[in-house]
Amino acid sequence: MAEQIAVEVTRFSPERDKTPSIQSFDVPLRKEWVVLDALNYIKDKVDGSLSFRWSCRMGVCGSCGMMVNGEPKLTCATFLTDYAPGPVRIEPLKNFPVMRDLIVEINDFLGKLSKVKPWIIRQKEKPVTEGEYLQTPEQLDTYKQFSMCINCLLCYAACPVYGLDPMFSGPAALALAQRYNMDSRDEGKEERMDILSQHDGIWGCTFVGECTQVCPKHVDPAGAIQQYKLTATQEWFKSFIMPKGAK
């Protein structure tokens, strides 16, 4: 018999349960297995009703974020052996409503993402037949890091501000807003600034930096938010010293 590890998972069925509970399963401890492999072992061999999201299992689709021993992790990129001898506890991402077992409701994030207008805004679009908007590698580097966000939402699960104030736009949406603000092809910065200042976006962040620490793609949302605050403050001062409309 191969070595085993106890995997404790959250169970919750909205049709049956009032509150979530924990169920423990013994799973083979294999050195090449990630936490997601353990969940699939349970689903395939033991209990087909265990529900969780996953897809690419190479750390890029962003589906399989869960709390592993209290920390937000991509379960396809977190090895089981790191938690030996166990038990290891798998729970749904913190700060989101739980829909079923390990699945959380993320529509709040999608709404916030749309709100920051994460697309190129231009006064005048040139026809594609006229070729590309030039952008040097240095200009690309200014926003590239923020464009690496896979929307896995580990940062929301780690964010103490989002935990307390669900109105907060949150780390990923703000990083993506900044991704477009910093893009040399974009002209929508002021439009986004207006939206964000209205929705008390960035001022909620106290720069605790948990989002940056848990980000599996090194996006540094905390850095993006700091950049954003700085620009917003400058704009705010400008509005006093410059005539209205002459931003």
Partner 1 sequence: MLDISSHDVLLIGGGGAGLRAAIAVAETNPNLSVAVISKVYPMRSHTVSAEGGAAGVIGKNDSLDEHCYDTISGGDWLPDQDAVEAFVKEAPLELMRLEHWGCPWNREPDGHIAVRPFGGMKKERTWFAADKTGFHMLHTLFQTSLKYDAVARYDEYYATKLLMDDGQVQGAVAVELSSGKVQAITAKAVIICTGGCGRVFPFTTNAAIKTGDGMALTYRAGAPLKDMEFIQYHPTGLPFTGILITEAARAEGGYMLNKDGYRYLQDYNLGTPQPTPVLRSMELGPRDRLSQAFVKEFERGRTVEGPYGAVVHLDLRHLGEKKIEAKLPFVRELCLKYENLDPVRELIPVRPVVHYVMGGIHTDLNGATPLQGLFAAGEAACVSINGANRLGSNSLTECLVFGARAGRAAAEFASVQRPPGRHLLAQAAEEEERLQDRFLNKSGGRERIATLREEMQKTMEQSAGIYRSGESLQHAAGKLRELQERFEDIGLDDHSRAFNTELVAALELASMLDVAESVIQCALQRQESRGAHQRTDFPARDDQKYLAHSLVSRQADGSPVVSYAPVTITRWPPAERVYGK
- 21 lies in the binding site for partner 1 (CB under 8 A): no
Helices (runs of H) and strands (runs of E) counted in the chain: 9, 7
Is 81 near partner 1 (CB under 8 A)? no
**Stretch near partner 1 under the rule CB under 8 A, chosen from 82-90, 95-103, 165-173, 194-202:** 95-103
Phi, then psi, of 103 in degrees rounded to 5: -105, 130
- The nearer residue to partner 1, 34 or 67, going by C-beta atoms, is 34
42 to 61, contacts with partner 1 by CB under 8 A? 43-45, 47-49, 51-61
**What residues from 208 to 237 belong to the interface with partner 1 (CB under 8 A)?**
none
Distances (CA, A) of 128 to 65, 121, 133, 139: 38, 15, 10, 21
Are the C-beta atoms of residues 227 and 171 closer than 8 Å to each other?
Answer: no
- The DSSP letter of residue 201 is T
The least distance separating partner 1 from the CB of residue 237, rounded to whole angstroms, comes to 30
Give CA–CA dist 28/80, Å, rounded.
10
Interface mask (CB under 8 A) for partner 1, residues 97-136, using x and -? --xxx-x-xx---x--xx--xxxx----xx-xx-xxxxxx
Residue 99, both tokens: 């829909």
Q: Does 151 bind partner 1 (CB under 8 A)?
A: yes
Site membership for partner 1, residue 180 (CB under 8 A): yes
